[in-house]
Amino acid sequence: MKWKYPLLIGSLIFFFYGGLFFLLRNVLLFTPDFGESDAYHLGLSLKYLLFTSLHEGHLPFWTNALQGGFPIFAESQIAALFIPNVVVLLLPQFSTAYTALFVFTLASFTIGMYLLLRGYSVPRLIALILGVIFTFSGVISLHWVHLNLIQTFSVIPFLFFAVQKWVDTRKIRWLFAVSFLVFQLICAGFVQVAFIGLLAGMFWFGSIWFSQIKQGTLKLSILFHLFVAGVVGFLLSFPQILPAVTLSHFSSRSVGLDYQTATSFPLTFSHLLSFLYPYPFGNPVVGTYPPFSQDWGIFWENTPYLSLPFFFMLATLAFLLRKKLNHIPYLGRTLVFISLFILMALGKSSPLYFLFNFPPFNFFRTPSRFLLGAVFFLIILAGLALKTLVQEKKIPHVGKTITYILLFLTMGELVRFSFQYNLFVPTSKVLQPPILASHIKDHQYLTLGQLEAWNTVFLTKGWQSNQEVEKYLYLKNYLYPDSNLLYAGRTMGINTGGMKLRRIGYLNSLFEGYLATSGATLTTDPKFAKLLSLYDIETIISSKPIATDSFHLVQKVDRYSMPIYLYQQPIDGPGWYIPDHITTIAYTSDFEQVYADQGLSESVGLVEQGVSQQQVTQAKVKEKKHSDYQKEFVWQVNAPVVAALKTNYYPDWKLYIDGKRTPTFPINLVHTGFHLPSGTHQVVLRYENDDFKKGVLIAGFALLFLGGYTFIVALRSRTSSPPARSRQRR
C-alpha cells in the first residue's frame, strides 16, 4: 500500500491549490508599489506578450512596443524558455492562463519543499505543512508581484531534492533531472535568485559531502558525475544566455555595479523584527511604511515574515529536545547557514559588507533578497527538528500537541497575511483598456508624470479602500510601460529592473530635459517637435499641460483631482528616411550640440564613422511587407545614398540588398543606417536570432553528450557490480 500516502498528500495539495484557483479565477493580482504596480506593469504585461506570441506560433524575440524596439527575449524576465510558462500560457484565455500559472507556481513551492523534506525522512504531514508555510512566508508572498522571481526560486527545492537523490541512489535519471532543473533555473528569468539558490546549495551540500568524503562514505567520482550534469544544464540554457550576453553590450546596466548600487535598498538590524511581526515600521496597505532611501529599504524586500507561532514552535521544540539537540541532523551547519544568509542580507550593515565589492555579489542590487536563503534553511531546520520530536518516544504527549497546534497556527496566519496584504482586482477592471488608449496609433508615445501621481496615493493611503483602488485603475491612462503590451501602442520607455537599451535611455532623459517646467505647465522650443518626429514620437501623455504650437490637446481626463493630458502632433512619414547631409560625431555631447545649433530632423544624419553621400534628387520607396521581424522594400534612387530605417540598430537585425548581405551602422544614435547604391533594389531587413540559434546548437550537442556520458556511467556501474547470484554464492 505504498501508493496510499502519496495519493493522500497529492489529493490534499490538489484540493488546496485547486480551491485557490477557483477563488482567484475572476481576479488578477494588482498589488501597488512605488510609482507603479510590478504585478500589473511588469509581470502581467510580459506574460501577456508571451501568451500572444505563443498563440501566434513563435517566441517573442523582439517587440516594437517597448523602447522603440527591444530584444525582449534576451532581457530574460519574460522567461520564454521556462516550461511552465510555455505550457500553461497555451490555454485559450489569458486571464485563466495567468491565474493558473500563478497558482501552479505556489503549488510548486509546496511540492518541492515537501519532496525535499521527505528526502530527509521528515514525516509526510509535517513536510506538507512546512511546504505551505514556506509558500506563504513573507519572502515569497510579498514577492507574488514578481512572478518570475518566485518562479525561479520554486526550482531550488526540486534541485536540492534531485541532487540528494543522485548521491543516495546513483540512478541515472537523477542526473538528467539535475541538468533539466539547472536549465530551468537559469531560464526562469531572475539571475540574482538563481545565484542565491545555487549559493545555498553549495553551502549545504558542500558541508555534507566534505564530511562524507573525509569518512570515506562518498566517492569523488559521484560528485564529478554531478558536476558534469550541472555543466550540461548550464549549456542547455545557452539559447537564453547568449542573447542576454549580447544585450548586455548595449545595455545601460553594467555587469559589475558600484558598491553603493549593489547595496541599495538596505536591510537594517531592526528589520529582523519582521521575522516575528510584519509591520513594526508601518504598513504599505494603509500608506504608513516609509519610502525607501539610502538608509532605508523596501517593505516587500525586507520582511521575511514567519510569524510568532513559528518561532514559538521552534522554542517549544528546543525545550522538548533540550537534552536531545545533538540528535537533530545537520543542526549546527543549518544554524550557521541561516546566520550567514541573514548577514549577507544585511548588506552594508553587515560585517560581510566587503563581499559586495566583488563578483558575483556586485552583479546585483538589493542584498535583502538573501533572506530567501535564510528562510529556506529555517524551514529545513524546523523539519529536521520536528522529525526528531516525532521519533523521540519519551517526549510528553502535551508537548507534541502544543507543537502541532503552533504549526497549524503558523500556516493559517501566513495564509491570512498573504491575502490581507496582496491586492486582487476583478479581471474585467484590470484588463479593460483605459480611455486614452483609444487615441494611441502606430507611432510612439512618451509618458510623463505617472510616478508622481501614483505615489500621491501610494505613500499616503496605500490601497486600504476601494477608493484608492479606483484611483490606481484610473492612472492606467498613463499607459506606463509595459502596460501598453496589454492594449496598444509603442512607447519609448520600458519597465524593467534588468537590462535596457542604453542609447534609448539616453534619448528619454534628453526628452524629459527639453520639456522645461514653467509653473504648472510644460514648455518646449520649436525644434523639440522635429526631434520627436525624427524618432517617430507622435503622442505625449502628461500630468501637466504643454504650451506648444506643434502638439495639440486631443483629450484630457480628470478624476480625483489628478488630470491627465494627451497631446499629439501629426506624423505621416514612413519608417525610413534619406538624410540630406551626413555629420560625423564622436560623443553624445556632439549630438546635443548639433541639436542646440540647428535642431535635428530627418534631413540630418549623425553617424559615428566616416560616411559620405551624394545629393539625392529622386527617391521612391514602396513598402512590401512589414512585421515585428521582417521589413521589405523596393527602393529606387538615382545616386548612391546613405539611407536610414526607423528600426533600432541591433546586431540581430540583418540587411539584404537584392539578396546580398549588407553591413549596417547606427545613424542618429539608434536608427539602422546603410549604404544604398543607385538604381532599383529590393531591400530586406530581417531579425535573425543568431545568438539563439547558436545556443540551440550548443544545447543540442550538450544533450547528446549527456546521453552518451550517462550511458557510459550506467554501463560501468553495471560491470563494476558483481551479479546478485554470484554474491549469494559467495
Q: What is the CATH number of the domain that holds 664?
A: 2.60.40
Work out the percent of the chain whose per-residue pLDDT is above 70: 97
Number of residues written out for the chain: 730
Same domain? For 261 and 399 the reply is: yes
- In a domain, residue 92? The reply is yes
For residue range 656-708, list pLDDT tens digits in order.
999 999 999 999 999 999 999 999 999 999 999 999 999 999 999 999 999 99
Work out the percent of the chain whose per-residue pLDDT is above 90: 80
- Spatial separation of the C-alpha atoms in residues 651 and 648, rounded to whole Å: 10
The C-alpha cell that represents 19 in the structure block: 480551491
- For 169: left if phi > 0, alpha if psi spans -120 to 50, otherwise beta; the answer is alpha
Handedness of CA 676, 653, 604, 446 (dihedral sign): positive
- In a domain, residue 65? The reply is no
For residue range 165-206, list pLDDT tens digits in order.
999 999 999 999 999 999 999 999 999 999 999 999 999 999
Say what the pLDDT of residue 730 is: 34
Please report which helix (H) or strand (E) contains residue 106, including its range.
helix 94-119
Same domain? For 514 and 583 the reply is: no
Which residue in 371, 492, 472 sits closest to 429, CA to CA?
472
Say what the pLDDT of residue 2 is: 59
- Spatial separation of the C-alpha atoms in residues 478 and 541, rounded to whole Å: 6
SS3 label, residue 676: strand
pLDDT at 3 over 90: no
- In a domain, residue 160? The reply is yes
Say what the pLDDT of residue 54 is: 97
More confident residue, 725 or 2: 2
Same domain? For 411 and 469 the reply is: no
Same domain? For 460 and 606 the reply is: no
DSSP code, position 630: E
- For 461: left if phi > 0, alpha if psi spans -120 to 50, otherwise beta; the answer is alpha
Say what the pLDDT of residue 720 is: 63
What is the residue-wise DSSP string for 237-303?
A: THHHHHHHHHHHHHBSS-SSPPHHHHT-S---GGGGGGGT-S-TT--GGGT-SPPPBTTB--HHHH-
Same domain? For 384 and 473 the reply is: no
- Among 529, 546, 568, the domain boundary falls at 568
Say what the pLDDT of residue 616 is: 60
Where do we find the cell 550541472?
Answer: 230
Which residue in 693, 598, 557 sits closest to 239, CA to CA?
693
For residue 23, what are the CA distances in angstroms to 13, 310, 311? 15, 27, 30
- Spatial separation of the C-alpha atoms in residues 404 and 143, rounded to whole Å: 28
For residue range 538-591, list pLDDT tens digits in order.
999 999 999 888 899 999 999 999 999 999 998 877 889 999 888 899 888 899
Asked if 143 and 150 count as a contact pair (C-beta separation under 8 A), the reply is yes
Predicted TM-score of the model (pTM): 0.94
- Spatial separation of the C-alpha atoms in residues 441 and 610, rounded to whole Å: 36
Same domain? For 447 and 349 the reply is: no
Which positions ≥6 away from 503 have C-beta within 8 Å? Answer: 250, 666, 669, 670
Q: pLDDT band for 725, please (50, 70, 90 cuts).
A: very low
- In a domain, residue 101? The reply is yes
Mean of per-residue pLDDT scores for the chain: 92
Say what the pLDDT of residue 617 is: 61
Give the range of the structural domain holding residue 124, as residue numbers without chain letter: 76-421
* Residue 258 CA, distance from chain mean position: 22
- Spatial separation of the C-alpha atoms in residues 656 and 179, rounded to whole Å: 39
Exposure class string for 473-495: b at 16+ Cβ within 10 A, else e: bbbbbbbbbbbbbbbebbbbbbb
Same domain? For 279 and 399 the reply is: yes
Say what the pLDDT of residue 613 is: 64
- In a domain, residue 10? The reply is no
Say what the pLDDT of residue 524 is: 78
- In a domain, residue 34? The reply is no
User: 562 - beta bridge partners?
Assistant: 559
Least confident of 328-332, 698-702, 715-719: 715-719
Say what the pLDDT of residue 715 is: 86
Same domain? For 437 and 309 the reply is: no
Asked if 161 and 55 count as a contact pair (C-beta separation under 8 A), the reply is no
Say what the pLDDT of residue 721 is: 56
Number of domains in the chain: 3
Give the number of C-alpha atoms closer than 13 A to the C-alpha of residue 497, restricted to the C-beta side: 19
Same domain? For 352 and 445 the reply is: no
The C-alpha cell that represents 82 in the structure block: 521556462
The C-alpha cell that represents 56 in the structure block: 501566434
- In a domain, residue 612? The reply is yes
pLDDT at 371 over 50: yes
CB count in 10 Å sphere of residue 552: 11
pLDDT at 516 over 70: no
- Spatial separation of the C-alpha atoms in residues 555 and 543, rounded to whole Å: 12
Residue type, 221: S
- In a domain, residue 402? The reply is yes
More confident residue, 570 or 721: 570
Mean pLDDT throughout 464-469?
A: 96
SS3 label, residue 76: coil
Say what the pLDDT of residue 512 is: 86
Same domain? For 403 and 518 the reply is: no
How much of the chain is in helix, strand and coil states, percent to nearest 5?
55, 15, 30
The C-alpha cell that represents 641 in the structure block: 545614398
SS3 label, residue 520: coil
DSSP code, position 70: B
Q: pLDDT band for 25, please (50, 70, 90 cuts).
A: very high
For residue 446, what are the CA distances in angstroms to 222, 418, 517? 57, 35, 16
- Among 568, 600, 631, the domain boundary falls at 568
Same domain? For 501 and 474 the reply is: yes
Asked if 337 and 182 count as a contact pair (C-beta separation under 8 A), the reply is no
- Spatial separation of the C-alpha atoms in residues 529 and 532, rounded to whole Å: 5
Same domain? For 557 and 661 the reply is: no
- Among 389, 421, 453, the domain boundary falls at 421
Q: pLDDT band for 727, please (50, 70, 90 cuts).
A: very low
DSSP code, position 349: G
Classify strands 653-657 and 562-568 as parallel, antiparallel or unpaired.
unpaired
SS3 label, residue 71: coil
